[in-house]
Structure formats: C-alpha cells, structure tokens
Amino acid sequence: METRESIIKHTIQEFIRVSKLYSRIEELPLPVEDGVEITTREAHIIQAIGDHDRMSVTQVASHFGITKSGASQMVSKLVKRGFLHKKQAAHSNKEFELSLTALGGKAFQAHEQLHGKDLAGLVDRLSDFPPSHIETMSVLLEALGKVMEQRLSQRSEE
C-alpha cells in the first residue's frame, strides 16, 4: 500500500522528469523562414511580446519569472537578430518598449502553429480526465511553483 509520502515523492519525481523534458524542448530549433531559426525559449519571449502588443524588459522578466538581467540579455539578443524593436518608453527614461519586427511576426506565427498542435494534443489527452482532476493538478503545480519561487528568492537574498 502506497503511503501519502510515497505518492508525494513519486509526484515530485515525475514533475522533475517533465521539467527536464521541457527544458530540452526549450532549446529545440524552430524554423522561422529559410535559414532562420530560433529556440523555443526565444519563441516564448516573442510570443509574450506579440500577445501583449508592447512589453518592457521588466514585464518580460516578471512574466517568465526570471531576473531582469536575464530578460535583458535575451531581449538584446533578439533585437540584434532582428526579431524585436526596442525603443525608449514615452513614460520613462529608464524603460524601453518592446515590439515585434516583421521577422518577429513570422516567428510569432511559426510558434503559434507549433503551440496549436501541442495544445490540441494536450487537450485530447486530458479530455478524458474529470475536471476535478485537472483542477487538482493545477493546484499542485501552483504549490510546486510557490516552493520554487521561495527557494529562488532565498538564494537571491544570500
């Protein structure tokens, strides 16, 4: 008979396994046009900016739960490669507004198509589960996320 603790440990191990798979997926190339690729991680930044029309580097960092420095590095790389425009925000001398270039728009569309396939597959696989199970999974993921956020917060305070 499985104990509550063994079930929790198994769930955490499965979460770690899935997290590692996701991390590998984030590095996969996504073709944008002939000879131009981005990683899935880069596509997610482009997706967020495209979904929100304009974002600041601070908003990108907050959206992804990363440091402002990390977001700034990723944004600079995407600006240099021609996927993003970066201009001074009208409301602040310290903030920049980010928007998609034409190439960024193509990357956005390529990622949308990929996400559409993935989402359809997930909906298909999860549609047999009762809504209460999916809600439980959501609550569990939130709890895991809070523990991770707390650990990262403690590390940054050290």
Which residue segments constitute the domains of the chain, with CATH numbers given?
Answer: 4-127 (1.10.10.10)
pLDDT band of residue 149 (cuts 50, 70, 90) is confident
3-class DSSP state for residue 33? Answer: strand
CB contact at 8 A, 63 and 98: no
The candidate with the shortest Cα–Cα distance to 106, out of 30, 2, 41, 158, is 30
Q: Three-class SS of residue 38?
A: strand
Q: What is the pTM of this model?
A: 0.76
Q: Tell me the per-residue pLDDT of 1-36, one tens digit each, with 9 for 90 and over.
A: 789 999 999 988 999 999 999 889 888 899 999 999
| Closest by Cα among 3, 7, 48, 14 to 141 | 14
